[in-house]
Amino acid sequence: MSASLPAVPPVRSMASRIKSIISGSIGNLVEWYDWYVYSAFSLYFAPAFFPKGNLTAQLLNSAAVFAVGFLMRPLGGWLMGAYADRHGRKAALVVSVLLMCGGSLLIALTPGFEQIGVAAPVLLVLARLLQGLSVGGEYGTSATYLSEMADQRNRGFFSSFQYVTLLGGQLLALTVQLGLQQWLSEAEMYSWGWRVPFVIGAAAALVALYLRRHMEETDSFVVQNQQETPEAHAKEPGKLELLLRYPKEILTVVGLTLGGTIVFYTFTTYAQKFLVNTAGFSKAQASWISFVTLGIALVLQPLFGALSDRVGRRPVLLFFGVGATLGTVPLMSLLGRADSQWAALALLAVAMLIMSGYTSINAVVKAELFPTAIRALGVGLPYALTVAIFGGSAEYVALQAKQLGVETWFYWYVTFCAAVSLLVYWRMPDTQQSGHMTE
């Protein structure tokens, strides 16, 4: 009889859940701020890390290092996911924020190419490798933590804060950039001002580290850990081997993510460049429009998350799938011809509304697909692979299509990927009722 006692989850108050969710969410915000601040300030630090010459070549070099970080995300999803499933969500989240802190601090403190030569770009690559590992592991582990920490009735609402903080990290990076551009001269920005946001990121990561060290472990992992005997633990297959026993769930995560990640990067990251290169807005106007629309998206996340708790996950995903499939071509076409900031803002606000049907609940849906023993790895690895291949290449595909004079082909490419995901949403069961987190 006593052997069955550990299977009963510990009693946890709503206040305790909220405190842990806030601690996890703040750490997630810091992680994504550190990740996006690299892209935001690459224009200023590229000349410091690479030999003098053509600015475009320097930016291409910094973009290549950015891509290296993206390619590290699947490795981070694998290593950190397996670690979280073996040693706990809290332990993995602490390691994740330590890696991000180390990467940001390394960028902030590394001397330029003129001082240490080729060692400067080498250290920049090393820093980005650490950040890629960190953010690759952060998604799956934080999605698992927030989903497990939430109660059944409000799981969609609380897990939506993963994208609230992800978008918040983007907004914070943009806010720091706009602030420094106001306070410092262009010469100061190129000389030393670009180091400031990385120092801020490293310092904020230490705060996130403190919060994560003091947050609680999830009930699901505690119960699983109590049930496992040393003998059973020794005989258990490797986490990757165990994950491969869930091929349907893996493919569902890939299909679920495909359209969502391309739409996300199209209407958030790439939209700012699209507004300048295609619609003809100034950089300042494009930055303002992007800032406001990201703020709109941030507010929409918990609203859609709460809606999914009432109507189910599948209807919300279908809303995104239908909207993105039918709406991408007209939205992008109209945005390219927008003749005022307000028109562009309105169009992107519609895009954010559609996009939120995916971003608000994709984390909880993926978490609900897998059992506790393999959840963090199951969420993180297939997601990271899909994002690295499709999300990470979205901007490149868009720019190549424009350069070849067939820009509208990219609109249809996004539409096709959204349609594939729509098919997955149509055929999959509602994980709120049929998943592994119905307790």
Query: Residue by residue, what is the 3-state secondary structure of 159-210?
Result: HCHHHHHHHHHHHHHHHHHHHHHHHCCHHHHHHHHCHHHHHHHHHHHHHHHH
**Could you identify the residue written with the tokens 């990385």?**
198
Give the separation between CA 125 and CA 72, rounded to whole angstroms.
Answer: 11
Has residue 6 got a pLDDT over 70?
no
The model's pTM? 0.84
CATH code linked to domain 13-235: 1.20.1250.20
Closest of 146, 173, 162 to residue 35, by C-alpha = 173
Give the separation between CA 310 and CA 332, rounded to whole angstroms.
Answer: 32
How far from 25 is each of 211, 215, 351, CA to CA, in Å? Answer: 10, 11, 25
Measured at the alpha carbon of residue 140, what is the angle toward residues 367 and 10, in degrees to the nearest 5? 60
Nearby residues of 79 by Cβ (< 8 Å), 6 or more positions away:
133, 137
Residue 10 tokens read as: 């510990």
Q: What is the pLDDT of residues 96-136, one digit of tens each?
A: 888 988 989 999 999 988 888 888 888 888 888 888 888 88
Q: What is the pLDDT of residues 151-207, one digit of tens each?
A: 888 889 988 988 999 899 989 998 998 889 889 888 898 889 999 999 999 998 888
237-433 shares the fold of 13-235 = yes
Model pLDDT, residue 1: 40
Q: Is the dihedral of CA 320, 325, 326, 328 positive or negative?
A: positive
Model pLDDT, residue 307: 96
Structural domain boundaries in the chain: 13-235, 237-433
Superfamily assignment of 237-433 in CATH? MFS general substrate transporter like domains (1.20.1250.20)
